[in-house]
């Protein structure tokens, strides 16, 4: 019996199994697109995109928005200018008021956003400066923050910062109180902070560490607050144990970084008590506790009151994109139809 060739061993070992999948013998469908199939497909897709685009565009056009700029730049026309100067001088928080007239009824629920501009949360070093293990409530992450958090990983004494990183340290901390003026009376407008973050963030990605002796204070002992924070994480909303520590929704909203330098984030919703039907037309006062400096990097700050529709907030881009794509499909279909008719007639003449 002849010995097997030495080169046959590795080749046999590397040979795929003799199955339909590995030997590429599975049945396949390779459509041959004819003009009778491709042209109706282009027209149907184009009409569907046009219909969806029109729906999205006109739905966005029905959404009402009211913007207020409270940056406090010189010539801004309101008393937040002194607060902006105080923030540049490092004088701490300051309170200013904005008086405005809502020209029409805003049906509820009304979303209350804050908007920042010239703020690059998409900077790579800024975007990775966080510890997701720590934010998920892991005890190891709490006492041993990730290196990506540097220079906001530990303080000068080597104590871990919780939450660590540049994103957490730069948490937006302006606060707002809204009042409605009607018939000579001033009524506070309740601002609801429940459900302003993504469900997956507040229920899966963010969690507090396991309580020690039933106390969140004891759980965070041994850690220090971020340098720019006035209080520790367990005091973010001390009056509400379900909205403090790492599961504070304002904090969670801020930690979802924006892709563009001008962005808005949801602050509150107006949907309670006498304002469950929305904001009525009339006069309002917005009291602002001005803490967050933006003039140092030529930024701006705004608040936006906006209604919502089935498609969400006001954004005409998606509707315009569908309209452009649908128009392009229909135009391409007509061009292909013209080419098909031309060459079909030419082929018939050649045959004759």
What is the structure's pLDDT at 1?
A: 44
Taking the CA atoms of residue 178, residue 181, residue 186 and residue 190 in that order, the dihedral angle to the nearest 10 degrees is -30
Where residue 182 falls among pLDDT bands split at 50, 70, 90? confident
Are residue 244 and residue 330 in the same domain, yes or no? no
What is the average pLDDT across 253-279? 93
Whether the predicted pLDDT of 329 surpasses 60: yes
| Mean pLDDT of the region 212-223 | 84
Residue 117 lies in a domain: yes
The total number of structural domains that make up the chain: 2
Say whether both 59 and 70 belong to one domain.
Answer: no
Q: Based on the fold, state whether residues 50 and 166 are members of the same structural domain.
A: no
- Cα 6 to Cα 9, 16, 21, distances in angstroms: 6, 19, 29
| 90 pLDDT higher than 70 | no
**127-170: pLDDT as tens digits:** 999 999 999 999 898 999 999 999 999 999 999 999 999 999 99
Residue 131 lies in a domain: yes
Lowest mean pLDDT among 14-23, 156-165, 267-276: 14-23
Answer whether residue 25 shows pLDDT above 70: yes
- Asked if the structure places residue 352 within a domain, the reply is no
Within a domain: residue 30?
A: no
Q: In this structure, are 51 and 136 located in the same domain?
A: no
Share the mean pLDDT of the chain.
Answer: 88
Together in a domain, 217 and 238? yes
- Within this chain, do residues 281 and 331 fall inside the same structural domain, yes or no? no
Instruction: Considering only residues 124 and 314, tell me which one the structure prediction assigns the higher pLDDT.
Output: 124
Segment 28-85, tens digit of pLDDT: 888 788 888 889 999 999 999 999 999 999 999 999 999 999 987 766 556 787 787 7
Question: Does a structural domain hold residue 257?
Answer: yes
Per-residue model confidence (pLDDT) at position 349: 65
Do residues 175 and 284 share a domain?
yes
- Please report whether residue 124 resides in a domain: yes
User: Quick one: what percent of the chain has pLDDT higher than 70?
Assistant: 90
Q: What is the pTM of this model?
A: 0.81
Q: 164 and 240: one domain? A: yes
Q: Are residues 184 and 55 both part of a single domain?
A: no
* 338 shares a domain with 244: no
Q: Assess if residue 185 is contained within a domain.
A: yes
What is the per-residue burial (b if ≥16 Cβ within 10 Å, else e) of 284-316?
A: bbbebebbbbbbeeebbbbbbbbbbeeeebbee
Do residues 198 and 224 share a domain?
Answer: yes
Q: How many Å separate Cα 176 from the centre of its chain?
A: 21
242 vs 96 pLDDT, higher one: 96
175: pLDDT strictly greater than 90: yes
Q: Structural domain of residue 56, as residue ranges?
A: 37-63+315-346
Write out 179-229 in H/E/C secondary structure.
Answer: EEEECCEEEEECCECCCCCCHHHHHHHCCCCCCECCEHHHHCCCCECCCCC
Q: Do 51 and 120 fall into the same domain?
A: no
* 17 inside domain: no
């Amino acid at each position: 019996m002849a010995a097997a060739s030495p080169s046959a061993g590795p080749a046999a070992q590397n040979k795929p199994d003799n199955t339909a999948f590995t030997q590429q013998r599975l049945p396949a469908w390779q459509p041959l697109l004819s003009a009778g199939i491709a042209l109706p497909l282009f027209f149907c897709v184009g009409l569907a995109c046009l219909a969806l685009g029109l729906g999205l565009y006109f739905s966005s056009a029905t959404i009402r928005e009211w913007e207020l700029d409270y940056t406090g730049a010189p010539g801004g026309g309101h008393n937040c200018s002194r607060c902006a100067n105080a923030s540049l001088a490092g004088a701490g928080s300051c309170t200013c008021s904005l008086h405005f007239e809502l020209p029409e009824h805003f049906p509820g629920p009304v979303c209350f956003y804050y908007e920042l501009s010239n703020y690059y949360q998409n900077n790579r070093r800024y975007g990775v400066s966080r510890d997701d293990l720590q934010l998920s409530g892991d005890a190891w992450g709490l006492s041993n923050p990730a290196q990506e958090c540097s220079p906001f990983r530990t303080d000068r004494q080597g104590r871990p910062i919780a939450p660590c990183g540049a994103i957490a340290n730069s948490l937006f901390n302006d606060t707002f109180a809204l009042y409605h003026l009607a018939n000579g009376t001033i009524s506070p407008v309740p601002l609801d902070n429940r459900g302003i973050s993504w469900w997956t963030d507040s229920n899966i990605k963010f969690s507090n560490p396991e309580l020690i002796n039933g106390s969140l204070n004891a759980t965070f002992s041994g850690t220090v607050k971020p340098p720019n924070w006035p209080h520790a994480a367990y005091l973010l909303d001390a009056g509400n144990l379900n909205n403090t520590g790492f599961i504070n929704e304002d904090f969670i909203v801020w930690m979802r970084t924006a892709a563009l330098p001008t962005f808005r984030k949801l602050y509150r919703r107006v949907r309670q008590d006498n304002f469950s039907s929305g904001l009525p037309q009339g006069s309002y006062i917005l009291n602002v506790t001005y803490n967050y400096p933006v003039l140092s990097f030529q930024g701006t700050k705004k608040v936006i009151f906006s209604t919502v529709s089935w498609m969400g907030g006001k954004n005409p881009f998606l509707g315009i994109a569908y309209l452009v794509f649908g128009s392009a499909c229909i135009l391409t279909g007509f061009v292909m139809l013209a080419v098909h008719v031309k060459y079909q007639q030419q082929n018939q003449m050649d045959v004759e």
